[in-house]
Structure 1
Amino acid sequence: MRDILRNRMGWLHTWVGFVSGLVLVVVFTGGTLAMFDTEITRWMQPELAMLPQAPLTAEGLNHAGEQVQALREKEQTVFLALPSVRDPVLRILHYDGHAFVGPALDPRDGTDLNVRQTQGGQLFFDLHQSLYRGPVWGNMVTEVVGIGLLVAVLSGLIIHFRNLVPDLVLFRPFAAPGRAWLDAHLMAGVLMLPFIVMITYTGVVIHGPRLFPMISNGHGGKAGRPGHDRAHDAAPFAPLAPMWKQAEAVFGEGNIGFIRFEPRAVSFYRSDAADFVMTRDRVDFSPRDGQQIGVKRDERGDQSLGGIIRGLHYVRWGTLGLRWLYFICGAIGSAMMSAGLVLFVIKYRRTHGGTVRLALAEALTLAVTLGLPLASLGFLWSNRLIDPSLAHRELLEAKVFFLLWLCALLHGVLRSCTGLVRTAWREQAWGIAALGCGLPLLDVVSRRATAFTPGLDVYLAVDACAFGIGILALWGQSMIVHDR
């Protein structure tokens, strides 16, 4: 009976794991990079490199409010993001369907800093949350594959329960390819099991209402997408600085995240980084005279639980060290799923070698395992190579990302169908190595015309990570997949 159960669980783990794994590698990789989405955006706006750290002033906020008012008179719906430790500028933003974009302002006086427009790290957040397919169908797909991951984890535990401890300590990277990939898959899965279960469960719960509308997680999409409200009334509103001071008196100094402008209220929302529990608490003011209307707080109970779950998943309150821990765990989780996909194609190559179905499976595995990092690095390269003054350049950067990803898929299909899958893996690994190791040099050269200051900052951090990925690709290109 036990062997029958393990065999059935093995079939379930293999097929559910592969089908959902193709999407989950994308989701996990996007989420891992989205841990530093704000920092990636700053890297992709090198004009901010020389901006000194300066506190927000009343003059800067009032001037920003005047610019918001001018945009509202043109019937543009925008909101104002206040400076933070991670992003020390004022931003007038609108939601373009994928990312929040708009001008960056100097917090000292509210003047436009003339930065290049980019979707930045928000592209990876959108990829993680909805596969860049919008908040309905995209979220539904990620929700379904998240449930698939929980099924795969449960079935995997049943399969390997008896050998859980040996699998934790045994790793043979130089064994036969199948054995080495299996050891890596099992070790990463066992070590990262608590994190994978936590991050998947919280992600499923957050977006559960999209699959089950009768369930409410206490976090309305309207508050989460401040740029969607229409500006029905663009009449002038009172200066923002006095309202800001009153809002800080309620939530604490530095704990205001963004300002939203509605016909009957100017709302100051508490920052997501202010507390472990992620809420949409706000202070409302009259737009005419700036008088406080009231304080709106999320109710306790179920909504408070939803705030805890969102806080665990997004960890926007976390320290730099905690976000790096999430980043490392997410990267290992992505590697674990990638190893599972490779195991699938190695296993079925023995019985289905030369078939179209296997060639497609190998091409898809290659596209999400190496094609996605290749496209991500190309996305960073495009940011520095596309003219900063070009209109709608942020959309062009995104097109470069998806075009490179498509090319990686087509390259994998071509090589797989001609029996040269090993060559395909090595060629794409060489591409990652070239783009990753070359990115720091590109950063130095491209920032020399704007602002290059050697030192420990977000620019050096992104360059170092890209260089590390390039070195890892160089090391692994001869060990990735062997056609045996």
Structure 2
Amino acid sequence: MKDSFRKSMAWLHTWCGLFCGWVLCAIFLTGTLSVFREPITRWMQAKPLLPLVVSSNAMEQASAYLTTTAPRASSWQVDLPRRPGDAMQLAWKTDDGSRHNVIMDPGTGNVLDQPWGRTTQGGRHFMAFHYMLHGGLPGYWLVGLLSMGMLVALVSGVVVHKRIFKDFFTFRPGKGQRSWLDAHNATAVLSLPFLFMIVYTGLSVFYVSYMPWPMEAAYGGKDAYEQYQAELALKPPPLEPAMPSGQTAALPDLAALQVRATSLMQRPALSMTVDLPGDTHQRVRFDARSTEGDDSRDLLNHARSVTFDGATGTVLQLGAQHDAPYAGKFSHEAMEQLHLAHFGGWTVKWLYFVGGLMGTAMMATGTILFCVKRRKKSELEFGAATATVYRVIEACNVAALAGTALAGIVYFYANRLLPDTWDSRALWEVRAFLLTWLASLLHALVRTFLSSPRLAWLDQLWTTALLCLALPLLNWATTGQHLGLYLINGDGQSAAVEFTAMVFGIVFICMARHVGKTVQAAPVRKASRPVPAR
């Protein structure tokens, strides 16, 4: 009975892991990269580097410019630099609803040319592909279905491996099938808690997309999701809109209000909005954005805001102070924060990055193990077509791992090679990724059927490695920026992107050399049992 149950779990683990593993490799690799979506976006925007010094009177410079340029605007907005080398963004809205904006050097107060940096999806592309495959609602459902399949594969894998923890401490290199199994077991056991957490929280974050009917029944079919999110946001009741009085008033000391707002919110006030500037009913609002894990150690990390009466300086509203006791209403946000790594600082982000790579390696070694095992002895699962199906599986393995990595680095190259002034450049960056991924599958199929899967692996691994290593040279040739300049200007995020790309290049070189040393696989041997009659 036990052996029969374990065999059925082994069958389920093998086939569920194989068919889900191909796309899951791409989902996990892009999700791993999306942990650092902000540094990737920063690198891909390639904004001109500004002096590191931010003027202490930057807010005064911004208010002076807006007072001169847009004295009759209905509202002003100022976004201060979040990091050294960033520009300051100013915007205003006129009575007719039109919006205007400029970019300002926070050190000198000079207005800068626009556009400021390249138009790009940046790291957002990897995040969007990770949870919807750029496929809209069908993409949501497919990723959800594959995530459920991964949970099935994880649970059945734990059942199948009787010596799972003993196998974790066992690795025998150079033993072919045994080595692949040891690598699969080791990466699976080490990352098992992380994998369960990341898959479960991913399903929890999008449960309203998978099962929208209870929410629609509770809130009504129209704007049900927006109403639900408004309740989860824990925002204070909105203030009544400020109405113009028709009487002029002096602007408050915005720099002094910024200092007060920072003290009240216990975070830097990085964004300011002034409604009805120069009117006696003017209001000044400061926002402290969610830190997205950069320096927050809290799991529940709400954005905060404070609104002042512009005429008197009285605090009208202090929002999103996270002082309430833990309650069930925080569970959705906790799941979201756990999945997106918006807590714990850069330490947690790097842990998620390593965990994601190990999860990708676990799935990759599992799919490769399937083929290595059947090269030695076919089980004739597909009758006379078994050899052909095995070749297709080999090609899918190449495209799932090497092809996804190749598409990822081509995405970076598209960012640097597409014209800066092209309106559709962000769209074609994504298309370059998707078309390269498709081309990798076609290449793997042709190589596998005409020669061998080993050559398909070598072609794509070597190409990916060379592109990763040459990325800093491309960046220097197209933008004049490079790793040394990033370090001099204190832009550690952009420097880390190039350094990580080079590390990936070295890893892919090692993988290609290993595949190159592998003895050419012998033709698939048939099993001793005959093909069942049809």
Shorter chain as normaliser: what TM range?
Answer: 0.7 to 0.9
* Counterpart contact for 2:52–2:85, Cα < 8 Å: no
Normalised TM-score (structure 2): 0.73
CA, structure 1 residues 409+253, in 2 after alignment: closer, same or farther (shift >3 Å)?
A: same
CA, structure 1 residues 5+450, in 2 after alignment: closer, same or farther (shift >3 Å)?
A: closer
Letter of the 1:149 counterpart: M
Structure 2 counterpart SS, 1:192: helix
Aligned with 1:252 (options 253, 258, 266): 266
Unaligned runs of 5+ in 1: 74-78, 94-101, 225-232
Partners of 1:222 and 1:394 in 2: CA distance: 34
Relative to structure 2, which stretch is displaced further, 262-271 or 166-175? 262-271
CA, structure 1 residues 439+195, in 2 after alignment: closer, same or farther (shift >3 Å)?
A: same
- CA drift of 1:149 comes to 1.5
1:268 aligns with 2:287: yes
Instruction: Report the counterpart of residue 338 of structure 1 in structure 2.
Output: 364
1:483 aligns with 2:502: no
Partners of 2:483 and 2:357 in 1: CA distance: 31
* Counterpart contact for 1:268–1:283, Cα < 8 Å: yes
1:117 aligns with 2:116: no
Instruction: Report the counterpart of residue 141 of structure 1 in structure 2.
Output: 142
Q: Deviations over 1:420-464 (max 9, x none)?
A: 211111111111121012112223333437996163733332222
Q: Deviations over 1:231-270 (max 9, x none)?
A: xx9x9xx99878766653442232x576799999978364
Instruction: Report the counterpart of residue 202 of structure 2 in structure 1.
Output: 203
- CA drift of 1:324 comes to 1.5
Letter of the 1:84 counterpart: R
* Counterpart contact for 2:476–2:482, Cα < 8 Å: no
Aligned with 2:82 (options 50, 59, 84): 84
Structure 1 counterpart SS, 2:398: helix
1:166 aligns with 2:180: no
Instruction: Report the counterpart of residue 153 of structure 1 in structure 2.
Output: 154
Partners of 1:393 and 1:449 in 2: CA distance: 20
CA, structure 1 residues 453+157, in 2 after alignment: closer, same or farther (shift >3 Å)?
A: same
Structure 2 counterpart SS, 1:294: strand
Instruction: Report the counterpart of residue 473 of structure 2 in structure 1.
Output: 441
Q: Deviations over 1:50-86 (max 9, x none)?
A: 45263783246658989xx99x99xxxxx98664359
Instruction: Report the counterpart of residue 277 of structure 1 in structure 2.
Output: 299
Letter of the 2:262 counterpart: E
Partners of 2:309 and 2:202 in 1: CA distance: 36
Structure 2 counterpart SS, 1:220: helix
Instruction: Report the counterpart of residue 396 of structure 1 in structure 2.
Output: 428
Letter of the 1:24 counterpart: L
Instruction: Report the counterpart of residue 463 of structure 1 in structure 2.
Output: 498
Partners of 1:180 and 1:80 in 2: CA distance: 58
Instruction: Report the counterpart of residue 397 of structure 2 in structure 1.
Output: 365
Partners of 2:179 and 2:65 in 1: CA distance: 57
- CA drift of 1:47 comes to 3.0
* Counterpart contact for 1:117–1:388, Cα < 8 Å: yes
Aligned with 1:424 (options 456, 476, 481): 456
Unaligned runs of 5+ in 2: 92-100, 216-224, 234-241, 245-250, 277-282, 523-534
Letter of the 1:197 counterpart: F
CA, structure 1 residues 200+120, in 2 after alignment: closer, same or farther (shift >3 Å)?
A: same
Structure 1 counterpart SS, 2:500: helix
Structure 2 counterpart SS, 1:390: coil
* Counterpart contact for 1:218–1:306, Cα < 8 Å: no
Instruction: Report the counterpart of residue 239 of structure 2 in structure 1.
Output: none
* Counterpart contact for 2:147–2:199, Cα < 8 Å: yes
Instruction: Report the counterpart of residue 41 of structure 1 in structure 2.
Output: 41
Normalised TM-score (structure 1): 0.80
Instruction: Report the counterpart of residue 294 of structure 1 in structure 2.
Output: 317
- CA drift of 1:279 comes to 5.5
Instruction: Report the counterpart of residue 354 of structure 2 in structure 1.
Output: 328
Structure 1 counterpart SS, 2:514: coil
* Counterpart contact for 2:102–2:111, Cα < 8 Å: no
Larger Rg: 2
Structure 2 counterpart SS, 1:8: helix
Partners of 2:167 and 2:147 in 1: CA distance: 25
Paired residues, number: 459
Partners of 1:221 and 1:426 in 2: CA distance: 52
